[in-house]
Structure 1
């Protein structure tokens, strides 16, 4: 086979003995590849058959494509339905795999978890977490040893809130979770001895962005608050950040090692200490959260350069060095009673509006088939459609149908007095063509027959 044609290898001196066309020759030129005349006619016929096959394939594909295009809306609706069903079944399989429970959703900004566990941790090895936030205050400061479970506790609370808002069950015995317009996090894993100013700068930038967005409907999670710099100044910044979170009214959960932060949490209103339990005899963490108890650089300059407000810097300076008098802090902040209200930049939760009673009341007053008087023309009509949420209903007049406000309608005779029970109102309101088509379609399928409904 040479160049897609069937050939015979013939020595050059016997070329005249084989009638046909030379298609190719060998590298030395001693052998010629000849397509015999009989084979050439067959090859031509084969090429024609291939062209016909290609045309038939293209025709079939065109027909299938046209059939799909005609039913495009059906295919798209099926696809959306399959996606929705797949999502529902996936949530169900995940809930069964995690042995999860349906959480309660509250609007009182409360989070309560009983015997919960991180979704990625096995049921056999995970220590159950019981946690409360909102009833006794808006913030919790968790302290404890390294690898004691502080970060896992924080991630579990955040994941539970996000999973609940996504319509997922959560792995616990019982949970009551609130809706949050945002879950704002600054959680840094992979901690090491080589932490430097660049790490601190990244944390401060992230925290300042969180403080701009946080509001009363937000949940804020901060891990190792104030770490990565000089302990004294980092502690001061940590307290300033906590003070700012407390004033904005959000729910927050932070971890720290600073003893001064524990003292702040104990003294500040709305902030509670918590610790990860530790076995002093074996010196091993127990990975159990105990609430209500506290467990065993150039930071200010960089924070100011990164945009931290002066009031927060003054509070950080006082907490770090103690050389700022309370009078000066009060003067800078404008007094104890004065609060600087900054509206958060993030989205807000839209509460569902209460349904108005007018639609329900008017639906009882006007029913389909009622004989009514249309004002001010004083024309008589029959109600086709009852009052909608805008207070408008449809009336059949002698020559047409109109939409009109319920205030311009006066009831003459109720439908129950005019028509027997289960009366078919399509006799009055439908066109003759629609009634005929509906009758045909009820008997059997009718190709090309349609029923046209009036749009509201």
Structure 2
């Protein structure tokens, strides 16, 4: 419930903002776990840290906090006896340089007796370790001057490399007639000359590689091989000496394991504290005064997620003379923003953060409980009203004297009469719990509830009657006025309809509302405007199709040919007629009955004798005795 309410208020969005001001992963993780504190001693310490951090940032600038992405990993590796690589030791040296700069930064605050600055005493810059690494490691490798022995080895290796190059060049010149190219190449770390394959036996040396075509053999001259083997021995010595130096530095780092861990712990804590100070500066926030007397007072409070240009500052007070505030007013009038601002300020202050306002007195809360927004839970198949009631019941179970309860649109989402009753019952339970509570609603009866008890007060969001715009200002001590009817009047709602609406809404009290609307007999009546009419398509007259039957003898006009009806007229009036054993379609309008089929043929006459082919008639006869796959009856359309 607690985390859900904080998420609803936008508390975790504030934490995400705070993370942007932290450098280390440890500080970001700590921010992610932040919750309002229950210990007054701890809370006052956290708020004081935030104030001092902001003061130091304003005075001395942003602290030079070091990057520590891999420090814990390197320290753990060194302590386990594993070898730290040159680049890892170089990162460790950079970290220690940053620690030294941070100590200088904190010493400035120490001189001003800022208690936060005395964390300087807990930091160790480990100058001996830093200097050893700086002398031995440079540009990601062990430096030549890390030891006299290493310097001598590398000097000998350089001389040998030069000799090997000279020998290779000499062999190149001596065997130029056998070569495919006139330059020395390196293959598998060896100096080689490119010899044509057919001349391989003419050059003394070892074959190391060949070209992709196989036409060239890369040969290490015999004069170079001995020097190369000597160089490899020096390389082994170089590697051994480098590892000795690295193990020595790693061992020195391991000896300082506890000091390095303490540095990381202190820097993560400072990173966390200075992130709060920088966020305070960014929000132009102030240090809240914390009390345990259960009262809240805010002056010109600004919701931290709204820009300063659009946010109207909020003045609000609760807890001394009243414990409950019922806020009414028009939609989009800022009621929800107002109650969320109060709750979010409380959550931020109780977490040790500064709050964006001119002045703030905030009490500690054991819990901040809220029901804001739709809350519809599709997976549980809960309606909006059901989801609200389920959430409110959980809130009522947990609310007590040190709680802050925020309920938005109390009793909405159901039948108005029943919703009003439920809203009043919830308010009564909250009043008896002793909690501070802020409620928004539209029900007039809920507004009247506040008049019964001195500890509950009405408030409204102010509305500009001239511009028809909400002012987003909270006015405590007054219930919200009939803004909907007033807006309707300004937008041209007829007087008779406004009066009818007021009587339906307010019953016996409607006359006072109608008077406040200042309706007159000349109030514009509803004028009907000419509207477009539907253009209907005229129905076509149905053409009477003459009905012929199969077998009718007809005359086809205008030719006067005689035919017999094969199929009667279709929906388009087309009739299939057989004329001299040829079947043709004609419009029914061109046909004239000559002799009806009933006069020409007996009842149940088989017209297939006239219209079917001999093959079809034979097939039909055989099919009558049983189905046969080898027979096909062709049907003429």
Instruction: Classify the TM-score, shorter chain.
Output: 0.5 to 0.7
What is the aligned counterpart of 2:350 among 165, 168, 173?
165
Residues 36 and 216 (structure 1), Cα distance of their counterparts in 2 relative to 1, 3 Å cut:
farther
The question of whether the paired residues in 1 share the 8 Å contact of 2:404 and 2:437 is answered with yes
- 2:205 pairs with 1:15: no
The question of whether the paired residues in 2 share the 8 Å contact of 1:100 and 1:172 is answered with yes
The question of whether the paired residues in 2 share the 8 Å contact of 1:106 and 1:176 is answered with yes
Q: Which runs of 5+ in 2 are unaligned?
A: 1-185, 482-637
Equivalent position of 1:81 in the other structure: 266
Paired residues for 1:118-129 under 5 Å = 118-129=303-314
Residues 164 and 25 (structure 1), Cα distance of their counterparts in 2 relative to 1, 3 Å cut:
same
Provide the C-alpha distance between the structure 2 equivalents of 1:42 and 1:143, rounded to a whole number of angstroms: 95
SS in 2 for 1:163: helix
The question of whether the paired residues in 1 share the 8 Å contact of 2:375 and 2:384 is answered with no
Residues 255 and 17 (structure 1), Cα distance of their counterparts in 2 relative to 1, 3 Å cut:
farther
Give the superposition deviation at 1:21.
3.4
- 2:321 pairs with 1:142: no
Give the superposition deviation at 1:132.
0.9
Give the superposition deviation at 1:178.
0.9
What is the aligned counterpart of 1:110 among 295, 309, 332?
295
Residues 13 and 199 (structure 1), Cα distance of their counterparts in 2 relative to 1, 3 Å cut:
farther
Provide the C-alpha distance between the structure 2 equivalents of 1:5 and 1:198, rounded to a whole number of angstroms: 80
Equivalent position of 2:439 in the other structure: 254
Equivalent position of 2:462 in the other structure: 277
- 2:247 pairs with 1:62: yes
The question of whether the paired residues in 2 share the 8 Å contact of 1:9 and 1:32 is answered with yes
What is the aligned counterpart of 2:475 among 268, 290, 300?
290
What is the aligned counterpart of 1:154 among 339, 344, 361?
339
The question of whether the paired residues in 2 share the 8 Å contact of 1:116 and 1:130 is answered with yes
SS in 1 for 2:348: helix
SS in 2 for 1:188: coil
- 2:208 pairs with 1:208: no
The question of whether the paired residues in 1 share the 8 Å contact of 2:280 and 2:353 is answered with yes
Q: TM-score, normalised by structure 2?
A: 0.41
Give the superposition deviation at 1:218.
1.4
Residues 259 and 11 (structure 1), Cα distance of their counterparts in 2 relative to 1, 3 Å cut:
farther
SS in 1 for 2:449: helix
Higher helix share: 2
The CA RMSD measured in Å over matched residues stands at: 3.3
Of 151-160 and 29-38, deviating more is 29-38
Provide the C-alpha distance between the structure 2 equivalents of 1:44 and 1:284, rounded to a whole number of angstroms: 91
The question of whether the paired residues in 2 share the 8 Å contact of 1:197 and 1:228 is answered with no
Provide the C-alpha distance between the structure 2 equivalents of 1:155 and 1:252, rounded to a whole number of angstroms: 12
**Size of the alignment, in residue pairs?**
292
Higher strand share: 1
Paired residues for 1:206-245 under 5 Å = 206-228=391-413, 233-245=418-430
Deviation by residue 1:329-369 (Cα, 9 ceiling, x = unmatched): xxxxxxxxxxxxxxxxxxxxxxxxxxxxxxxxxxxxxxxxx
Equivalent position of 2:365 in the other structure: 180
Residues 15 and 288 (structure 1), Cα distance of their counterparts in 2 relative to 1, 3 Å cut:
same
Give the superposition deviation at 1:7.
4.2
Residues 31 and 201 (structure 1), Cα distance of their counterparts in 2 relative to 1, 3 Å cut:
farther
SS in 1 for 2:409: coil
Q: TM-score, normalised by structure 1?
A: 0.55
Residues 236 and 10 (structure 1), Cα distance of their counterparts in 2 relative to 1, 3 Å cut:
farther
The question of whether the paired residues in 2 share the 8 Å contact of 1:197 and 1:229 is answered with no
The question of whether the paired residues in 2 share the 8 Å contact of 1:110 and 1:133 is answered with yes
Provide the C-alpha distance between the structure 2 equivalents of 1:42 and 1:205, rounded to a whole number of angstroms: 87
Provide the C-alpha distance between the structure 1 equivalents of 2:269 and 2:213, rounded to a whole number of angstroms: 69
Paired residues for 1:359-398 under 5 Å = none
Residues 2 and 185 (structure 1), Cα distance of their counterparts in 2 relative to 1, 3 Å cut:
farther
Paired residues for 1:33-72 under 5 Å = 33-72=218-257
